Structure 1
Amino acid sequence: MKITLRQLHYFRALAETRSFGRAAALVNVSQPALSMQIKELEAILGTALIERSPRDLRLTRAGRSVLDRANRILSEAMELEADARHARGLGELNIGMIPTVAPYLLPGTLAALRAADITRELRLREAQTATLLEGLRGGVLDAVVMADPPLAPDLIAQPLFTDRFVLAGSAARLDALGANPEALRPVGLPPDQLLLLDEGHCLADQALEVCALDRRQTRLDLGASSLSTLCGLVAQGFGLTFLPEIALATETRGTPALALQRFDAPEPARQITLVRRAGSSQVDWFDELADHIEQAAQALIAQARQIAPTT
């Protein structure tokens, strides 16, 4: 009897969820079927891979080693399938984007990609950075768009554009900042007025970093998951927030009471980057995708400079 990709796939799901029930739901099989495949895998390897307890399960030392290899094998299998699709001309792309980029860049990017190749099949996922990186490394995604990605030897990152931050709030709050010459520098902002996205969003982390703050110093933990929610709140006078340039056209259109103010130079910004696995082959699509995203971004940035002119 030989190890199968199905067994490795089920084992990885079990390691991720630490529950037979949740793992079975994740891979869309019955719990008995998943349990049988795990037992067969353990029998083939001649060792236990998991330790069961009434409330939890954990990997054995052998299980951790098998999981590392399973991740590599499954990733290579995904690359093989992707290469075969490209060789047949199917052109399927699985792309991920962070939530503070996707709503603004996707429309222009998709239109350009469709115009370039109407036969291309696109699959899109919007998620936070950690989830996207996991999907990329696991072979579920071909490329992801994120801000300031970590340096890693297994990833190739291509910078796309610089996305400057603009201060957003009600007109009254922004006018009140004019009396303080330091207020138009991020480190000069009153921390008790700063509203941010929920923990885990990289934009919130970047805002805190440029302001030299931690989350405990901000006035209110909203648990907000979208920039639109924040813009609606600050427009009504509940505080101030950071808004990326690519979001200005959309968010000002939906929130007419929102006022904007450019920061003094050097303006805080984030670097938006397209990332793929270093082991990906047949990556002619990568440069094309980067070009389309960059063009969509530059159109949004040009609109932003009209909405909130630079000095």
Structure 2
Amino acid sequence: MRHLRYFLAVAEELNFGRAAERLGIAQPGLSQQVRALEAIIGTALFDRSRRAVRLTMAGELLAGEARAILARTDAVLLAARRAGQGEVGRLAIGYVASAAYTGVLTAILGRFREAHPDVAIEVTAMAMQQQLEAIAADRLDVCFIRPPVSLPPGVTSFPVLQEPVAIVLPESHPEAARKAVRLAALARETFITPEHAAGVSFHRHTVLACQGAGFHPRLGPQGRDFVTIASLVAVGLGVALVPQSLRCIRLPGVAYRPMEGAGVTAEMAVAHRRREASPVVRRFIALARQSRLRG
């Protein structure tokens, strides 16, 4: 590359002195480099038989090709540099549906896209357990999840949102007339939870909150997401604890009420591999850490 750059400077200036000054090197050194290139190729690139420096036919051919080679080389080096700095590349993100209506997903993605417009982003709504399986298998780079949940080996998480837990109950329920509901008043109700194992996310939140109110909840149907859960509440199959942000989903026949007293908070977290090699993913993680919200 150095030989080509030196040769091209002389080819454009047609003067070794001016070319050396342009390159910031001594003229004897430039002449030596050009002669070395001619030795590599096996033919003269400049006609030195006259006072004026002229390109030979081989030199004219090489000059055109050298410009294309150097331009392509510069583009490749720039692309590699930008990839190494996390400015270009691919990012695969999974998220639980509730991450969208909390605003946390759109807020973080919006900031990242504004800062890194050339990164290709794939965003997929997935059940939490499917996300964790996908990140462990390197099919996802980042997950938006709702702890507590057991993480695969080599995966860690950090919170990006804390929000209150609300109660969703049928609009016709007597407690729906109150501004805030005592959880103990629902001791005889059936509680609808997400499709999680015991001790995970809102299944755990529901059990612990009810036990804190003095009773063990009677668990009933399960829903694949909180919109489904609210729909089950609307048809009278029970009540549920849900993220406060679900209130933006205005389903007919349900009422969202805060819990009276101390209440419970729910967490949204970003999960990622502990030893992440991709500069793009590391940049996203760093931005997400700086974007912690409060519901």
State the TM-score, normalizing by the size of structure 2. Answer: 0.57
Tell me which residue corresponds to 1:14. none
Tell me which residue corresponds to 1:196. 193
User: Helix, strand or coil: the match of 1:279?
Assistant: coil
How many residue pairs are counted as aligned between the two chains? 204
| Cα RMSD, aligned residues only | 3.4
Q: How many Å separate the matches in 2 of 1:245 and 1:132?
A: 23
Letter in 1 for 2:276: S
User: Helix, strand or coil: the match of 1:159?
Assistant: strand
Identical residues among aligned pairs (%): 15
User: Helix, strand or coil: the match of 1:266?
Assistant: coil
Letter in 1 for 2:267: Q
- Listed as ranges, the gaps of 5+ residues in structure 2 are 1-79
Superposed counterparts of 1:133-282, under 5 Å: 133-148=132-147, 149-150=149-150, 154-175=154-175, 184-185=182-183, 189-200=186-197, 202-212=201-211, 217-218=218-219, 220-221=220-221, 223-249=222-248, 251-252=249-250, 255-281=251-277, 282=279
Q: How many Å separate the matches in 1 of 2:232 and 2:115?
A: 40
Deviation at 1:263, TM superposition (A): 0.9
C-alpha deviations, 1:23-44, integer Å up to 9, x for none?
A: xxxxxxxxxxxxxxxxxxxxxx
Q: Is the 8 A contact 2:169 2:238 kept in 1?
A: yes
Tell me which residue corresponds to 1:55. none
Query: Which structure 1 residue ranges, 4+ long, deviate > 6 Å from structure 2?
Result: none
State the TM-score, normalizing by the size of structure 1. Answer: 0.54
Tell me which residue corresponds to 2:88. 90
Q: Is the 8 A contact 1:165 1:269 kept in 2?
A: yes
Q: Is the 8 A contact 2:160 2:288 kept in 1?
A: no
C-alpha deviations, 1:90-110, integer Å up to 9, x for none?
A: 232111212332454444443
Deviation at 1:154, TM superposition (A): 2.2
Tell me which residue corresponds to 1:47. none
Q: Is the 8 A contact 1:86 1:92 kept in 2?
A: no
Q: How many Å separate the matches in 2 of 1:207 and 1:177?
A: 22
Deviation at 1:286, TM superposition (A): 0.8
Q: Comparing both structures, which one devotes a greater share of its residues to strand?
A: 2
Q: How many Å separate the matches in 1 of 2:204 and 2:82?
A: 38
Q: Is the 8 A contact 2:202 2:242 kept in 1?
A: no
Asked if 1:287 corresponds to 2:283, the answer is no
Relative to 1, partners in 2 of residues 1:136 and 1:284: Cα closer, same or farther, differing over 3 Å? Answer: same
Q: Comparing both structures, which one devotes a greater share of its residues to helix?
A: 1
